Amino acid sequence: MYDLLNRLVQSGLDRIVLHVDCGQGNDEEEMDAMCETLFTKFEQRKLYFALSITLYEENKEVIPSLMRRYARYRYFDGVLAVLARETSSVLHFESLPTQLPTLNAVHRSIADDLRIEPSSYLPSNLDDQEISWLIYFYYMNVNTGATVSVSPTLIRFFRRAYRSFAGRQLFAATMKASLFRIWFFITTALDLLLKFPDVVHLVKHSALLKDVRFHYIVLQSPPQFNRQKQCVEMCYHCPDATIRNGKLTPVCLADWISPPGNHRDEDGGDVALAKMVYEHLEEL
C-alpha cells in the first residue's frame, strides 16, 4: 500500500475521494478503522482526500459527526453524499414503500448540528424550483466546533471571476494549505459585515488559524421517474457525466443504460431508461 501510494503521488495524483460504504462486506467498526488507516497515510503525504457515502434513512444524520470527526486531518476537506433510491423508482417507473431520506431531512440535520446553510445548489432538469444538489462551503474550528458558512453571493462572485480568467467553468477546487490564510482573510473580509460575531467566535482558540478548516459538503439527489411529465428527472446541466453508447450521459445512470457485460434487465428496464434519457440529453 505504501509503495503504491508513493508511486501515485509521484505520478501527479493530488486528490483521493474514498468510497467506503455499508453493504461492501464490512461492518461499521471495520469501515472506521479502514478510514483511519488510509487517512493517516494520506495526511503524511499531504494528499487531499474526501469521503463519498450513500445516505439511507438510518444514517441520514451522519454527515455532521463525520465532518467533526475527520476535521483533525488538515488534508481532509469534504464529503460527497448521495441519497439512496430504489432502482425500481427509475427502471420500472414505480415508487416502493421503503422509507428513504429526503434532501430536506439531510439539510435540516446539517443546519441543526453544524449550523451552516448551503452556498449554492443545482436544480432538476424539469423544474428550477426542484433541488437536485445542495452544496456547502464553510469554515470549522477543530477545537471549538464553531462554523461559518461561505455566502452564496461570494461563491457566485468567485465562480464568475474564475470563468473570466480561466475561460472555463469551475467544477471543483481544493484548498491548498499554503493559500489557506490568504483565502480565509479574503472571504471573511467580504462577509464580515454580516457575520462579524460568527467570525470572531470561529477564530477564538484556533492557534492563529492553524486549527481552522475549509470544508465542503455536496448532497446529491439521484434521478427518478417523474410520472406527471413521463420522463426521468435528473440534475440540470449535469456536472458529472460520461460517455455511453456515443452520447453524453449522467454518471449515475450510465451503468443502468449500458450495464457491464451487456447485461439487460429482465423487463428491459435499462433499454427504456436509455431511450428516455437520450430524449432529454439536450439538458446537459
| Residue 25 and residue 144 in one domain | yes
Residue 88 lies in a domain: yes
Q: What is the pLDDT of residues 128-155, one digit of tens each?
A: 888 999 999 999 999 999 999 988 877 7
| Residue 145 and residue 255 in one domain | no
Asked which of 7-21, 164-178, 266-280 is least confident by mean pLDDT, the reply is 266-280
Residue 232 lies in a domain: no
> What is the pTM for the complete model shown?
0.80
Q: What is the pLDDT of residues 196-220, one digit of tens each?
A: 788 888 889 999 889 999 999 999 9
Asked whether residue 165 carries a pLDDT value surpassing 60, the answer given is: yes
| Residue 208 and residue 72 in one domain | yes
Residue 92 lies in a domain: yes
| Residue 208 and residue 272 in one domain | no
| Residue 84 and residue 13 in one domain | yes
DSSP 242: E
pLDDT for the residue 66:
94
Could you count the other beta carbons within 10 Å of the beta carbon of residue 130?
14
Residue type for position 33: A
41 lies in which domain range?
Answer: 2-220
SS3 for 117? Answer: coil
Q: What are phi and psi of 121, to 5 degrees?
A: -155, 165
- The grid coordinates of residue 216 equal 465542503
pLDDT for the residue 171:
65
Residue 74 lies in a domain: yes
DSSP 97: S
Q: Give start and end residues of each alpha helix (H) in the chain.
A: 2-10, 28-44, 63-70, 88-91, 103-113, 152-166, 180-203, 251-257, 269-279
Residue 124 lies in a domain: yes
| Residue 165 and residue 53 in one domain | yes
| Residue 100 and residue 198 in one domain | yes
How far is Cα 28 from Cα 85, in angstroms, rounded to an integer? 21
pLDDT for the residue 126:
86
| Residue 141 and residue 254 in one domain | no
pLDDT for the residue 64:
97
pLDDT for the residue 267:
46
| Residue 52 and residue 12 in one domain | yes
Between 256 and 172, the higher pLDDT residue: 256
| Residue 200 and residue 277 in one domain | no
How far is Cα 151 from Cα 80, in angstroms, rounded to an integer? 20
How far is Cα 44 from Cα 181, in angstroms, rounded to an integer? 21
Residue 227 lies in a domain: no
Q: What is the pLDDT of residues 48-93, one digit of tens each?
A: 999 999 898 888 999 999 999 999 999 999 999 999 877 666 655 5
Residue 269 lies in a domain: yes
**Could you please report the per-residue DSSP string of 138-201?**
EEEETTT--EEEPPHHHHHHHHHHHHHHHSS--------GGGHHHHHHHHHHHHHHHHHHHHHH
Asked whether residue 241 carries a pLDDT value surpassing 60, the answer given is: yes
| Residue 12 and residue 146 in one domain | yes
- Strands (E) in 210-272, as ranges, are 212-220, 224-226, 231-233, 241-244, 247-250
pLDDT for the residue 69:
93
| Residue 255 and residue 135 in one domain | no
How far is Cα 131 from Cα 192, in angstroms, rounded to an integer? 29
How far is Cα 38 from Cα 41, in angstroms, rounded to an integer? 5
- The grid coordinates of residue 253 equal 445512470
Above pLDDT 70, what percent of the chain? 78
Structurally, the chain folds into a number of domains equal to 2
Residue 234 lies in a domain: no
Q: What is the pLDDT of residues 25-60, one digit of tens each?
A: 667 777 888 888 899 999 999 999 999 998 988 889
- Quickly state the pLDDT bin for 22 (edges 50, 70, 90): low
Cα torsion 162, 74, 68, 185: sign: negative
Between 239 and 93, the higher pLDDT residue: 239
